[in-house]
Structure 1
């Protein structure tokens, strides 16, 4: 009963920590715009890796859905302001890969997805 809200909270803390770290680095070190776009893409990939690790090691889909939510938020922001293809495509791919991983990892492990996420061994 407590696992789901804690997972969502941990997901938001992780996403916020990544975003705040990037913001602080950007404040103290002035990077050219192209470098900032690259860093944004790399940070999204780090969030993707964290989400996959949480799916595989902790069987935690809620944490991963928070990362999907954040990636979709970045996708929407960068399509409404100005389309930066690197950020646009990275955010899209991160969200899609995580959603696919939520469904495919249990199947790869030859388990029912419901049992995979709800039954703790």
Structure 2
């Protein structure tokens, strides 16, 4: 009985910590835009200091944070419900979402303080826990209820996908800020390489896990990068190549997602039989 009570207390603490961490990260994000540190918001820094970093998406792309936090709030409420206290998946995840949320807040401070190298470290502090969470939940590998998919799996997929793209953007921005010249490789070529890497990761996720939500966010980012490239074409030669290539990658990823999505019911049934 005492051991059961101890487990219940630990579960309750984890539930509350996860809820507080997610809400805290959201509040930090909102406050940082209303009262930006050093006078510039995250968007303002991206549009001024990093206006020549071609891999940064157009401003509207960051509206995805609305969807991300909507999903995270659903996750926070779902996991704090009494009947989820002893859920084995949530127990396996433990405090990983707390760690990701705390690093999300730390990243905001570091980026606004223009400590861009440290901001990359903080970004990895978000990315790695989300990757481990994704694996532990078995997203795309195990059958779960519709509610659990909507309130747990989809929010993690969407969040991880955007953070994967954001990590690439963060690294590129930090390298640009500290004067890295690309090792002699043209800026557009480096951007294309980064886009290929991001698309390849999303394609692997779709093939292995049938995760359409993850692919959808990457497609959103690719289209936004193409849109921003079109907007700065006056400042860069051969920018149309980058724009068209980003659109091509987005179309190819949509095609892959459609093909795998068409096979999804059969795959789900097969796994259920096994």
2:255 matched to which residue of 1? Answer: 100
The Cα shift of 1:58 comes to 1.4
Match of 1:78 among 208, 214, 229: 229
User: Does the CA contact (< 8 Å) of 2:210 and 2:260 recur in 1?
Assistant: no
User: Does the CA contact (< 8 Å) of 2:226 and 2:243 recur in 1?
Assistant: yes
Match of 2:161 among 2, 8, 11: 11
1:90 paired to 2:245? yes
What is the alpha-carbon distance in structure 1 between the residues aligned to residue 158 and residue 164 of structure 2?
Answer: 10
What is the alpha-carbon distance in structure 1 between the residues aligned to residue 250 and residue 216 of structure 2?
Answer: 9
Report the number of matched residues: 116
TM-score by length of 2: 0.39
- Poorly superposed stretches of 4+, deviation over 3 Å: 31-34, 116-120
What is the alpha-carbon distance in structure 1 between the residues aligned to residue 268 and residue 229 of structure 2?
Answer: 35
Match of 1:26 among 176, 187, 199: 176
The worse-fitting range, judged by mean Cα deviation, of 48-57 and 21-30 is: 21-30
Q: Secondary structure at the match of 1:25?
A: helix
TM-score by length of 1: 0.83
Bigger radius of gyration, 1 or 2?
2
- Structure 2 residues without counterparts, runs of 5 or longer: 1-149
The Cα shift of 1:27 comes to 2.2
- Structure 1 residues without counterparts, runs of 5 or longer: none
Alignment RMSD (CA, Å): 2.4
Match of 1:49 among 184, 187, 200: 200
